[in-house]
Structure 1
Amino acid sequence: MTAAPVALIQVTDVRRITPHMVRVTFAGDGLDDFPAWPDQQLRLLFPRAGRREPRLPDTPADDAMGWYQAYLALPEDERPWMRSYTVRSHDPVRHRITVDFVLHGTAETAGPATRWAASATVGDLLARYGPVAAYARPLPLDRADWLLLAGDATALPAIGSLVEALPAGARALACIEVPGPADEQRFTTRADLTVRWVHADGRHDALPTAVRALTFPPGEVFAWLAGEAGAVRALRRHLAGERGVGKRQIDFSGYWRRALTQDDAPTEEDLAEAQERLAAARSPQG
């Protein structure tokens, strides 16, 4: 396993860009030589209540497995919450990264990451674990005539980074679910991009329903899917079963699970999908 850097990062700017999304800019060690690519994942560690910064294991970060075991061995009331996020952008000149946080739920039901983001201020400290370059998977533009990018609000940062990196001449159709009109965003891209905004209005099936209703352009498609795990599964079934899209032409990721958190044990479906994603990552053609 490729070693992932672990470092503290400090908030330098906080902006509410839509009613349900906060953009936070960070500075910190290692951002002057930060590997950057579209749809770049890393993990953020949030401090427990009463702590200014997250407690980190003493194990060196270059021993990834040992570090993670040491993290799990920390007392539960001191162990920082760990959540996966997308790097929305990287500024190589100012040595900054930005991360967009979706604000879920209410003050009573929100998880630790949403609670932190809703009250984040300049000077606050988190820690990052990653990114890991071994998991970088560029879109295979050479084996598709056009791209389908489908996801909910949690996928917006990744979709934004992907479309902004597309070259001139690329064709893409993005179908994005957000809570309402005020949560729509604008992208800058050289590609031929069409965006279909889907307003959830409290419905759990809004995104799959919208994708089923799409008229696909001619040619072979490569589909990138992300968001709530159940919706992603429904999209995969539709694309493979009703549209005839091959497995090699679908990249998918269930970012979150309804009524569950990343601290909850994976379901059988989660484990099966993780194995499928691992197999695809190892495939020379994947």
Structure 2
Amino acid sequence: MTTAVAAPFRFFSLQVVRTLRIGPSLVRVTFAGQDLRYFFSGGRDQSLSLFLPHPGQDAPAVPFELGDGWWQGWRELPDGVRAVMRSYTLRTLRRDPDEIDIDFVLHTPAGPASAWAAGAAAGDRVVLLGPAVADNRAIRFRPPAGTDLVVLWGDESALPAIASILESLPAGQRVRVWLETHEVGNVRELVTAADAEVTWVVGESSVDVLREARLPAAEQPYVWIAGESGCVKALRRHFVGERGIDRRRITFVGYWRRGMSEEQLREAE
């Protein structure tokens, strides 16, 4: 059974179909389920909430039968029972058959989501809170009309979003991309029709690299930065204060914060 929550989002009961190691610290998990016929997304940096079971559980405990009261009901479940909730980006949506891909970073030491992804196998059950309409507020990449330069920055957590964004951009759109990874094996060729230059920074912070980079002249630039919160804030200050870009033309998203779990970050917010 699937319960609608608040349009344009709803819960989806899914199962793992297969997994694929796409880098030393990256694994792609493919999910399927009858509910996906109601899943619609315009792609780009589509954000999702994924609910995972604890070790020993057959399925994640999410009281979505409570409708709009699911959040309070979920919070009230005991710590060892309440499903692990993590935010991820949709990598790919396919039809016939209906499937979605989500890419996971395998951290060391592993947190609960990273550990789950490392051991995921066909048939494993999850619950997803995702979009029921293609254009929804969980898509943040929205360059204004007339944008003549797109600048993207992200760490490994933002790689799926940046890859999807690049695939969505039209031919001729100028794009400059900086991607940070700890493993050279995670570096890959990204597909796009746009006029894109992609710079990978391996094993070091890319914040200073981007600060010192020369950008092409542009009258209407648009900046999208996502990843570790401290780096995101530093780069936003850089683009506004040092490059003079209108803050309304900058989208910034903190996917995670160094030294804090997602539960701690959620409580802090």
Normalization by structure 2: what TM-score? 0.91
Distance 2:159 2:91 in 1: 9
The residue type paired with residue 159 of structure 1 is I
Aligned to 1:140: 143
The residue matched to 2:65 in structure 1 has which SS? coil
Aligned to 1:230: 230
1:119-171 C-alpha deviation (Å, 9 max, x unpaired): 11111111101237233344225142110000000000000000001011211
Aligned to 2:57: 51
Aligned with 2:18 (options 13, 19, 24): 13
Q: Do 2:86 and 2:113's aligned partners in 1 also have CA atoms closer than 8 Å?
A: yes
Distance 2:141 2:159 in 1: 17
Aligned to 1:212: 211
The residue type paired with residue 19 of structure 2 is V
Distance 1:58 1:259 in 2: 31
Q: Do 1:10 and 1:124's aligned partners in 2 also have CA atoms closer than 8 Å?
A: yes
Matched, 1:257 2:260: no
Aligned to 2:47: 41
Percent identity of paired positions between Structure 1 and Structure 2: 40
Name the count of aligned residue pairs. Answer: 259
Aligned to 1:170: 173
Q: 1:170 to 1:252 in 2, by over 3 A?
A: same
Normalization by structure 1: what TM-score? 0.86
The residue matched to 2:260 in structure 1 has which SS? coil
Aligned to 2:201: 198
Distance 2:184 2:120 in 1: 25
Distance apart, 1:174 and its partner CA: 0.7
Distance 1:185 1:91 in 2: 22
Distance 2:172 2:66 in 1: 45
Query: RMSD between aligned alpha carbons?
Result: 1.7
Aligned to 1:91: 94
Query: 241-250 vs 27-36, which deviates more?
Result: 27-36
Q: Do 2:240 and 2:247's aligned partners in 1 also have CA atoms closer than 8 Å?
A: yes
The residue type paired with residue 248 of structure 1 is R
Name structure 2 gaps, 5 residues minimum.
Answer: 1-5
The residue type paired with residue 16 of structure 2 is V
Distance apart, 1:29 and its partner CA: 3.2
Q: Do 1:47 and 1:80's aligned partners in 2 also have CA atoms closer than 8 Å?
A: yes
Aligned to 2:161: 158
The residue matched to 1:177 in structure 2 has which SS? strand
1:177-200 C-alpha deviation (Å, 9 max, x unpaired): 01132111222111111100001x
Distance 2:151 2:98 in 1: 32
Aligned to 2:3: none
Distance 1:97 1:228 in 2: 25
1:197-220 C-alpha deviation (Å, 9 max, x unpaired): 001x2x4xx121111121101113
The residue matched to 2:241 in structure 1 has which SS? helix
1:233-260 C-alpha deviation (Å, 9 max, x unpaired): 1111111111111111100000001110
Distance apart, 1:87 and its partner CA: 0.5
Q: 1:143 to 1:112 in 2, by over 3 A?
A: same
Distance apart, 1:58 and its partner CA: 5.2
Aligned with 2:28 (options 17, 23, 32): 23
Q: 1:72 to 1:3 in 2, by over 3 A?
A: farther
